[in-house]
Amino acid sequence: MNIKIEKLIKQFAKLPRVGTRAATRIVIALLQDKTGKSESLANALLDAAEHIHPCPNCGVLTDSKICEYCSDTARQNGELCIVRDLSDVLVLEKSGIFRGRYHVLGGMLSGVDGITPSDLNIANIVSRIEKEKINEIIFALPNTVEGKTTQQYIISTINTPDISFSELASGVPLGGDLDYIDDGTLTLAFGGRKKL
How many CA atoms are closer than 13 Å to the CA of 73, on its beta-carbon side? 0
In the complex, what is the shortest distance from the CB of residue 1 to its own copies, in angstroms, rounded to a whole number?
A: 6
Q: Shortest distance, CB of residue 160 to its own copies, whole angstroms?
A: 28
State how far the Cα of 103 lies from the Cα of 136, in Å rounded to an integer.
Answer: 13
Rounded-to-integer distance, Cα 181 and Cα 95, Å: 24
What DSSP element (H or E) covers 147?
helix 145-157
With respect to its own copies, which residue has the nearer C-beta, 119 or 129?
119
User: CA-CA distance, 159 to 156, in Å (whole number)?
Assistant: 7
Binding site for its own copies (CB under 8 A): 1-2, 4-5, 7-8, 11-12, 14-18, 21-22, 24-32, 37-49, 51-52, 54, 61-64, 67-68, 85-87, 90, 93, 106-107
Minimum Å distance from CB 136 to its own copies?
A: 25
The least CB distance from residue 120 to its own copies, in Å, is: 11
**Of 27 and 134, CB closest to its own copies:** 27
Closer to its own copies by CB, 27 or 137: give it: 27
- The DSSP result for 106-143, as a single string, is SS--BTTTTB-GGGSTTTTHHHHHHHTT--EEEE---S
